[in-house]
Each structure stands twice: as structure tokens, then as C-alpha cells.
Amino acid sequence: MLLTAAELALFTSATCAQPHGLLGMHAAKSGRTSGLVVRAFLRDAVACDLVEPGEAAGADTLHPMERVADSGLFEVFLPRRKTHFPYQLRATRTNGELRQFHDPYRFLPTLGDQDLYLFNEGNEHRIYEKLGAHPRVIEGVSGVAFAVWAPGAARVSVVGNFNAWDGRYHPMRPLGASGVWELFIPGLGEGELYKFELRTPAGNILIKTDPYGTAFEAPPGNASIVCDPRKHVWGDAAWLERRAYEADHKDRPISVYEVHLGSWKRRLDDGHRPLTYRELAPALAGYCVELGFTHIEIMPVAEHPFDGSWGYQVTGFFAPTHRFGRPEDFAWFVDHLHQRGIGVILDWVPAHFPRDGFALAEFDGTHLYEHADPRQGAHMDWGTLIFNYGRHEVRGFLIANALAWLDRYHLDGLRVDAVASMLYLDYSRKEGEWIPNKHGGRENLEAIAFLRETNRLVKHYHPGVLMIAEESTAFAGISRPVAEGGIGFDFKWNMGWMHDTLKFFQKEPVHRKWHLNDFTFGALYQWSENFVSVFSHDEVVHGKGSMLMKMPALEIRDRAAHLRSLYGHMWAWPGKKLLFMGSEFGQSREWAYAGQLDWHLLKYLDHEGIRLLVRDLNRIYREEPVLGCNDLDSRTFRWINCNDGDITAISYLRHDHAQKTFIATVGHYTPLKRENYRVGVPRKGWWRELINTDSHYYGGSGAGNGGGVHTDDIPSDGFEQSLRLVLPPLSTTLFKWTESEA
């Protein structure tokens, strides 16, 4: 045996940190004789031969190997041989089975110095194609290349069914000082379950899933699965071409239907299970086309172990969840929606990650992805951990994650969750529970730099993809371009508008006249950012009540009238639109992730009428450029009357730059019908009624203005002409100017 006892102990004790220095083929000496030595560490083998290929078929030479340890170490010395050659191993197992295979330890590394340099620098934007597990063909041999970043580990092995989850048999090699460990295992392929077994310097053993894994099994196993996420053949080239063209046309109709895939609809005839990706796609596409939404936004589908987190506590950042199918099924889902004309936006969660021991937390026994100090690394609200955005490899991991979703799955946007918690070091913390930045301030400079770089690179690699921030503070420049000193998002959720508008509409009508400032205050900052007006899932959970039940009335009919008037205002008001599923038909109960929406309510006009109104609002929003293409310019908005508290009426104008098209919105938010109410308008002629939320068609009282009104030459509200209107109860009405009724 040429191997020393100390070297042998490295394998039997699973402490070998440099396996390629001992296993495989190496130059060696036995006494005074030079030659080659080949070693293999095999599980469940009683004998092994080295197979040297011959020049002709069937002319292979077998070199019996000596079993030098009962644990499975074999060795053979080939005297007077100098030239390395490709070889295979032929092992006889304890059950008599004979298996011939390529030795993992005869292959060169699958990552080069440039790959590692850029990774450590945080600038390898496609690192998701290099770290993780990837089917490869190397020297004509099929297998899987594994690579993982674990600089604090003393030893890392690939474990799986192929080696009985025994970390002794496939130890990985460290690649210099990069912190990356690598191993190519021939013969493995898609569908193989695996994890990484890490040994810390203190001798502790950690079993971890792959941070770059592309598929995972269900809990409690949570194993990573070797998977090629690019098997789907895409058919959305025309969609992607149009999307790239729209990169320079940000101010266009964008109306988003927010969906939780697991609870939109379920198969009641099949154990009440959620629909699969392939079942969801045609159903969702058809529904969104019918209602006129331009996009869906799906709550996080990155792999997560706990259903009750709704996907916001991610353990598999690069993998669509197993709950609804495989990665190729998710790709089919996106492709189908694209071909039906619907964009797909994904909730992306780079603000935090859970403490599950099998995932990122203390990945290699050190605080690798998170800050060690809980004043920086512990998220106070959710009991999770905060990424260390200042560490190059962590920043690169997250940027690559964003790019991977867009690259592999053709997504049309990322809605970035909890941006406010990333921007501020003292977010949700008391005095003494946070550490100021290097300037003594509360801004998280590393997180800000990360967000800017992510937004910049998304624009560089994927023009036309939308980046949307869920940001609840007044941090300046969220949707300003990076080149102009901003954070670089395209849009920001308008949380202030949502809060103030709901505050107004939740008031009893008799009190609303005292709270018109809640209705109008948003106009003061409406154009400080590129806003999306939102009523998201956050507004219909945790005891807040559904959108319908927030409305101040006893009868469902009256609540529905309030909600219709709210939606009429939402679609008429500047800003892109987002509405959470179920809210479009006024679901009565709060959203529950474990069931499905109450679709049976659509047989009642109180609910179906709300849905029909949303459909018509989306149609008008898309068809009328003054609504859909002028959301981001303050010059196309004008108040008519914003302080008529006596009867609680609000009116405002939307128009184009040339002031050739005008749409007037008149809201009346008491349960009384008002006759002869005068509203000033800038043009003489016929003002056609586009929408009346109190129409019989939507379940309302039917009060209105007979389809339109001619102006009178009576000055009002600063205009020379005016309209004499009937104000329906609890209503929002939209009128469009034309020169004549014809």
C-alpha cells in the first residue's frame, strides 16, 4: 500500500479535504520504481479492477486493485508508466453485482479561474449556471457537475441515494482560496436526489440543500433534485420582442391581477388539491383575458417548506416550488400566458430568509449568507435572517437569482418584497438594537447599492422587464433611474394612497365630509414616484377583513355599492393598477391560503356586478390613452372640485398633453341621490357617460344621466361651461368629452 495510514484515516473518518490529491491517478514511486498509482474509495465493493481501454473494441486491459481498507479503499500501482490515460473502474458489489463506471476523481475542475475570480468579486452574473448541480458531458462522459460555496467548511461531500447518503464516498475538492468546492460525478443524471454534507473545523456535521438548486422534493425530505430547467421549448418570441419594444414606453396600461397559485382554484373532485401549473395556465389566462388584466403577479413560487408563509420564507431561491409541478411545467405556465397576451410578474424575496437548518442559515457553520450580529442579521418582524449585502458572494447570489428567473422562465417583472426593511438599518428596531452605517446614519448603504445594481443589470440583460418595489416609506428616488441618483425601480407600490383611500371609504358616509383630506392628500405626492395603486393580499388577511367587508354598511348590497365606487375611483385615478384575487368580485371572507376563492358567490349580482365593473374598468383603462398612458405625468391631471364637503362629492379631470381628450370623474360618496349637481368642465359639447358604478348592470340602483350630458353655458368651478348632473348614491361616474352626441 502506497497510501500512508494517516492518509487512509482521512477517508475512513470522513475528514479528507483534498480528495483529488489522493484519489484518481497520480505519479508515484514504489521503492525505486516510478509509475502511476490509481486509488478509488468505493462503497459496498468487495473487489475492483482498473479498466485500461484498448485500441480495439473488446481489448481492454484489467488491472486488479488491492482492497487496502474494509471501508472500500482500493489501490493499484502501474510500474514504469508515465502517461496518464482515461480509465474506468469495474467493481464487484457484496451482492455479486458487477458495475463498470468512470472515476469521478480523474476529471479536471468544471470551473475555471476566471469563473471563481468573478464570483468572489460578486460580478459573475450567470453564476447560477456554474454553482449548483448541472448535467454535463465532459470528455464524452455524461454526469453531473456539483459546486457549492462553503469557505468555512473543513470538508464537503455530495451525498444522495447513489452513495447511501454517506459523506465518506464523494468528497469534493476545494478550488484554491475561492471557498468553492467542486466534483463531477459521472453516470448521474436528472432526477437524482442530493444534498451537501459539510464538516466544520470543530467536527460538526451539517446536511444542507443546494443554495443554487433548481428543484426540490417535498418536506420533510427537502432534498435538492438534479434538474435541467431549460427543457421547455418556448413559443413566446413575439411576446418577448414586443416587451423589449415597450421598454421605452413605461407609461402604458398596466393592470395586474395578484394571485396565490395554491388558493385561486382547487380540484374539489380530487381531494381538494391545488391546480398544477399546467392546469392553472389556461384557466388563469382565460379569466384575465375576460377581465382585461394585462399582467398577473404571482405570490412567491420559489421553493419554501411551510405553506403558511405564502412563499415569503424561501429555502430554494432558484427553484419553482414542487407543489404545482416541475420547473418545465412552470416554464409552460409562463409561456402559455404570454401566448394569450398576459404578462407574468413574480414576487421576489431578497430581504430575508428563514432559519431552517437544512437551508442557508449558518450554511457552512459560519454566518455565511447572513450577518453574525443580530443587530444586523435578525429580522425583527418575521423571525428570519437578513442577507449580508456587503459580502460580494452574497450580493452576487441574489443578483444572479433575479437574473436566473428572468432568463430561465421569461418573467416580465419582479415585485421586490419588503424593500423598506432593506433600506433602513433601524427598520422595526428600538434604540440600541441596530448599528449605524459608516456615516452614522440609518440607511443600509450595502442594501441600497445591491438594489441599484440589480435594477441596472436587469435593464441591461432584459430590456422591458418591470422592477416594482413594495416600499412603504417616503425614501426618495425609488423609481428614479440609477443614472440620476435613484434606486432604479420602474414602479413603486403606492402604500400611502392605499392607506388614505381605505381610511376614507371605511368611514360611515355621514362622517366622510370631514375626511376629504384622506381622499385628496395623495395628489400632493402622486408624481413623486412612478406609482402602482394597489389593494394587495396584505389588505385582506390577519383580521383586516375582505375588501367588501371593510365597507361601512350592514347589507351586502350596500357594501357592494361602496366597493364599486372605490374601484371606479381607483381606475380613474393616476397610477398603474393591482388588485388581489377575490377582491374583483367582492369575496366576503378574508383570504385563506389553505382553501380556494368563494367562486359560488358569482351567482349573486352583488358579487358578479363588482366583477363586471372591474372588467369594464380595465377595458376603458386600456382603450382610453388619457387613463392608461398618462399615469406618470402631473400635467395631465386637474382637480375640478376637491372640497365639496357639504354633499361629499369629488371631481377631477384626466386629459392628454394636447388637451384634445378629456375624461371627467365625479364621485359621490353618500347614500343619497342628488339632482341638479353642477360640475364645471373645460369643453363645450356632449360628455358621454363611460362608467356609472351605480348602474343596474352592476347591481346598483340605476340612477344616472341617461348615457351622457350636454354642457350648459353656465360657469362653474373656474370653467365657462358646466354639466348639470344626477349624482347616483355611493357612486363614481366617468364622462368623456366629444363635440357632439353623434
Main-chain phi, psi angles of 446, to 5 degrees: -70, -40
Q: Is 482 exposed, middle or buried (0-12, 13-18, 19+ CB in 10 A)?
A: middle
Q: Which residues contact 112 (CB under 8 A, 6 or more apart)?
A: none
Q: Which residues contact 287 (CB under 8 A, 6 or more apart)?
A: none
Q: How far apart are CA 252 and CA 627, in angstroms?
A: 9
**Positive or negative: CA dihedral 669, 675, 680, 686:** positive
Which residues are known catalytic residues? 417, 470
Nine cell digits for residue 366: 459560519
Q: DSSP assignment, residue 440? A: S
Question: b vs e for 334-349, b when ≥16 Cβ sit within 10 Å of the residue's Cβ?
Answer: bbbbbeeebbbbbbbb
How many Cα atoms occupy the beta-carbon half-sphere of 638 within 13 Å? Answer: 18
In Å, how far from its chain's centre is CA 486?
Answer: 22
Number of neighbouring beta carbons within 10 Å of residue 161? 10
Q: What is the helix (H) or strand (E) element at residue 138, kind and residue range?
A: strand 132-138
Main-chain phi, psi angles of 49, to 5 degrees: -120, 145
Q: What is the helix (H) or strand (E) element at residue 224, kind and residue range?
A: strand 224-225
Main-chain phi, psi angles of 208, to 5 degrees: -125, 145
DSSP letter string over 505-568? HTS-HHHHGGGHHHHHGGGGTTTSS-EEEEE-GGGGSTTS--HHHHSS-SSHHHHHHHHHHHHH
Main-chain phi, psi angles of 454, to 5 degrees: -60, -50
Q: What is the helix (H) or strand (E) element at residue 379, kind and residue range?
A: strand 378-379
**Positive or negative: CA dihedral 433, 438, 443, 448:** negative
Q: Which residues contact 520 (CB under 8 A, 6 or more apart)?
A: 639, 642, 643, 650
Q: How far apart are CA 542 and CA 536, in angstroms?
A: 13
Given the C-alpha cell 371572507, which residue does it identify?
A: 589
CB 489 within 8 A of CB 468: yes
- The residues facing 101 across adjacent strands are 89
| Inter-helix orientation angle 556-572/605-623, to 10° | 10
Q: How far apart are CA 371 and CA 350, in angstroms?
A: 14
